[in-house]
Structure 1
Amino acid sequence: MKLFSRKKKKEELQWSDSSNYKRHEQLNKQPELLQKPEEPKIMETEREEPVMPHDRREEIPHSRQEKMQYVRDCCDEILESSARLTEAKKEYKAVNAYMEDVRRVKLSEEEDGGQLAYYSRRIQNLRKDQESYRNYGTKIPENMYQYISANEKDMSVILKELHDDENYMQALKTDLHNIEGEKSALIYEQKDCQKKIAGMRTIAYVIMGAMAVVLGGMFYFHLNTDYDFTIGILLSILGTALAVALIMVYYQKNVREIRLNEKKMKKAVGLLNKYRLLYANVKSRVDYTYKKLGIRNSYELNNYWRLYLTAKKERQAYHGMSRELDEAQEQYDLLIDSMGLSDSSVWKMQMKAVTDASVMKEMEDSLNRRKKGLRKTMDFNKKQIEKYKEKVKDLTRKEPDLAEEILKIVEERENSL
């Protein structure tokens, strides 16, 4: 095979060269050149025989020292093969015991009325249910579960108080916003009244100045001319008095409004301070509850409460499954122990084999393969023992003068065990 692969590789290398490619073209044009020369026939005697590995113990020693070493090597091989044979027998016995256990377990369905299979299925189903709960059960933080569990009786009150505090806090916030708006409106009205009062003062000064000029002119013409300005003077004085009276009335009205706004302002400020204090107290209480429970609002706490009720039922069911699993496991172990199996611990772990015929068949096949392999191992080691015993006997027959020394070596090897 190697020669073939090397030849193929050599031909591939030949094609990689351009000169070889041209030579191939020439051979195609001259087919007669493609005829291979006759190879020399190889005689059968000339063919090389494959070199087989051999054991030094197969060689017949010549010197006395080599013969004694030969005996020691044979004894070592006998002892080693005996140890392997003993170990194989021990394992072979264990495999037979396991196969007997398989037979007993298979017959148990007829003897115990299927109780072993029933408890095996029961245990497997309960374990699947527990695994399903662990994977798909209601998820709730453990600290929240413990808190709700400790305050389960008072949770309705806690939820109501937290919800009421949130509503009260929102109402205070709305009232504060309204009072702030009212306060701003009062400030605007007060400034408007002050502007009106300043405007009325200016008007009053203008009217009084104008009437003083008019009255002064009338008095001047009344005294220095023949015209009588008495009625005009009286009407001017009356009009001025009327205008001043109207201005005073409007002025007093704005003054009263300013004073009323000041009272309202004081009341608004008082309410603001009061509501701010209430809001701060309620908010600090609500924020403390949020921080303690790790929630954002009462809706989230209420959601955790619903999850807790579901998780509680699931945990109760899980604990019930655990109790049933312990009971089923105990009954299963009692049945396995009562069967007198060689190794009951194997069947306490291999429950599926009790209920699944394919698993049981696979186990039997595995044991049969192990048994077959062990039988081959034992037969081989037996042959090895007989082989090397025969070699020692053969040497003893050929060299009778060495029999005592050979016997001594054999005894030494046996005593060394």
Structure 2
Amino acid sequence: SKILAGILAVFGILMLTIALAFSVDVTVPVIATAAFAFIVLFIIVWEARANRTDMVIKERQYDRAVSLLNRVKIKYVNNTRTIDYMCMKFHVRNATELEFVYDQYQKAKREWARKRESVYLLNEKKDILIAELKNIGVRDAEIWCSQVRAIIEPKEMVEVRHELNSRRQQLRKQIDYNTGIIQDFINELERIRNMREAYAQDVEDILGKSETINKDK
């Protein structure tokens, strides 16, 4: 705008000099020049205003970008510290190992949830089975929960019977063995009673107590 004002001033002086020196009418050139100068000045002012508006917008955008950058830096620092703490807590060296450990934890968690659901369903079916067995008159129905296959498969039932017979024989042998020991003990007491009359009453008391215990059983 200063340059334009200088040019107009020089042009005005030139027109005035020509008008005075040559007595020429310079009204039209002056008006045309003034109109042209006004148009140019208007364009310059308009562009300056637009540039100023753009500068304000750019400054705001720059401030926003700086603010976002600072937020990103803060988040980066916080995330870095969090990762470092997690690595130290779970004894890993980097984020890759931490991710692997986390994946293993998720798998174990899902497996635990699946097993818990399976146990819940198993207990539910177990209660149903016990109720059905009791309804048909089966005694000790709880025992069959661990031998379900024997209920539906004859071969498994044969194995169960064989196992029960084996246990019965072992119990019979143990009972016979214990009975033999008791009988030997009684015979020894009777021998002592016959040999020494002084202990006869004590032996009778012991034998009486043993008979009472056997009757209670």
Name the TM tier (shorter chain).
0.3 to 0.5
RCO comparison, higher one (Cα < 8 Å, 6+): 1
Q: Which has the larger radius of gyration?
A: 1
TM-score norm. by structure 2 comes to: 0.43
TM-score norm. by structure 1 comes to: 0.23
